[in-house]
Amino acid sequence: MDDMGMRRLLSEASGSTVVALLEDTIDANLRRTVAAWPDREALIVRHQAIRWTYRQLDERIDELARGLMASGLDVGDRLALWSPNRYEWTLLQYATARIGVIMVCINPAYRTTELSFALQHSGSRVLFAAATFKSSDYRAMWDEIAADCPTVERAVFFESPEWNDLLALGSTITAGAVAERGASLKNTDSINIQYTSGTTGSPKGATLSHRNILNNGFFVGETCGYTELDRVCIPVPFYHCFGMVMGNLGCTTHGACMVIPNDAFDPLTVLDAVAQERCTSLYGVPTMFIAELAHPDFERYELGSLRTGIMAGAPCPAEVMKQVLDKMHMQEVTIAYGMTETSPVSMQTVANDPFDKRVGTVGRVHPHVEIRIIDPATGETVERNTTGEFLTRGYSVMSGYWNEPDKTAQAIDADGWMHTGDLAVMDDDGYVAITGRSKDLIIRGGENVSPREIEEFLYGHPDVVDVQVVGVPDPQHGEEVCAFVKTKSGTVDPEDIKAFCRGRIAHFKIPRYVLSVDEFPMTVTGKVQKYLLREEANKRLDL
């Protein structure tokens, strides 16, 4: 068989290069959009009554950028952002990019232990945060750990005198100084650190450049067919690539409008935003679409403006997809797959893909990206319709984990391939289905949860001798966290374990189930056999 014939049989593919990569910085690209569509609506934040055109958005970004420069932040300094979806989040995203400050995204569900780790690990000079969110008092949590974070010179809370003072400080900086700073930046400069629970230990800071995330947002928008006439409803969180890259950058690279329905997901405010703002696109993980469709007031809302959108984070059940197409009018909805380390998207379905490909696969390779599926044991590319580990390479792969070259080298090989740890299979047409994970990461409602991170935290409990954490099936969240605990006292009080976690780690990491154990199943080399623990949990919990 000739080389081309053999190549067609292998599980590898390269994305289209017909549309060129953007070689701008994020700010240079935004300024072009502002010049092209200054009077089109750019940002609507319904819970804060914000409605700005591109010109108005640009003016406010510039005001904040001048304030950040006046406060002494230089190119490459880190600014941590700990907040739910608000207009200030979007301003900081683009203002930091304008002046070359690296924005460190902090999950708003993080608590004191996790926040302290991220601030110290990134060496952040300043923390920006909402004052409160739901039951969380961010200011009180910061006060609790401030002494442990010596690099953080100050904390700035939204809707406070310090926020207003920072903006006022910007009057000492000229527009020319901001432009000069912007001209000194390169699109390969790091601009964003996203903390992601990898497969082991503490969260790692995936470090992304202008080139990484600007292009990924652009090509996600291209795949959805965006123009300046689109209005995209973004109920997914900004702290994650889904919100800030696929959402915000997907819009601003096309002159489309960002519509933010609320500070956190609520199905009713999403439906209301789509109907009132005549949104053409809607984002979410499948559980969000399920909640919207199941809302008792669903039929009251006219959703005929919808055309497209993105479902990602988990497989979409066929019945849900049917309802999204029929009841929500999203005939061109796409499915996307990716990971934080790849900016995030490397696979996406397109508008005219058949139904079975939209529910059974995560689509085909993205533009300017290469993918292959390998035998983990040999590293050789497997033939089509054979399961192996999914690898991806291209502009979208992160520069590395912040200050962790060893972990970076474990994830990205010498040839530049990102080893995802996901098991996948490619069909004869190049569509890829994700079939499982070669590592023990728990994915709960779209959140990556590292068992090792929770285990290390629970070792701090005075009665815990040993602990192993596994994921168990859950109809609502896909997976839930289950902790097997061995104690000094010989007894385990699940409520005591959960109380130990509350306020110190994010709610989605707190074990839903806590089971007592005397011994753990081990291999002959002394490794815990987690698959046996999962089987035991399913049996004991009748899952």
Tell me what pLDDT residue 313 has: 82
- Would you place residue 44 in the very low, low, confident or very high pLDDT band (cuts 50, 70, 90)? very high
The token duo for 39 is 């009077």
Which sequence spans correspond to the domains of the chain?
26-424, 445-541
Q: What is the CATH number of domain 445-541?
A: 3.30.300.30
Instruction: Note the pLDDT tens digit of each residue in 447-474.
Output: 878 888 898 899 899 999 889 999 999 9
Whether residue 425 contacts residue 356, with contact meaning beta carbons closer than 8 Å, is answered with: no
Instruction: Note the pLDDT tens digit of each residue in 269-314.
Output: 999 999 999 999 999 988 899 899 999 999 999 999 999 999 998 7
**Mean pLDDT computed over every residue of the chain:** 94
Is residue 126 scored above 70 in pLDDT?
yes
Tell me what pLDDT residue 355 has: 94
Is residue 332 scored above 50 in pLDDT?
yes
Q: What is the CATH number of domain 26-424?
A: 3.40.50.12780
Tell me what pLDDT residue 280 has: 98
Any idea which of 41-45, 457-461, 492-496 has the lowest mean pLDDT? Answer: 457-461
Whether residue 85 contacts residue 61, with contact meaning beta carbons closer than 8 Å, is answered with: no
Any idea which of 63-72, 332-341, 442-451, 528-537 has the lowest mean pLDDT? Answer: 442-451
| β-pairing verdict for 190-196 and 231-233 | unpaired
| β-pairing verdict for 364-365 and 388-394 | unpaired
Query: How many Å apart are CA 88 and CA 81, to the nearest integer?
Result: 10
Any idea which of 27-36, 286-295, 496-505 has the lowest mean pLDDT? Answer: 286-295
Quote the DSSP letter at residue 485. Answer: E
Is residue 4 scored above 90 in pLDDT?
no
Q: At 118, give phi and psi (nearest 5°).
A: -65, -40
Reported pTM: 0.88
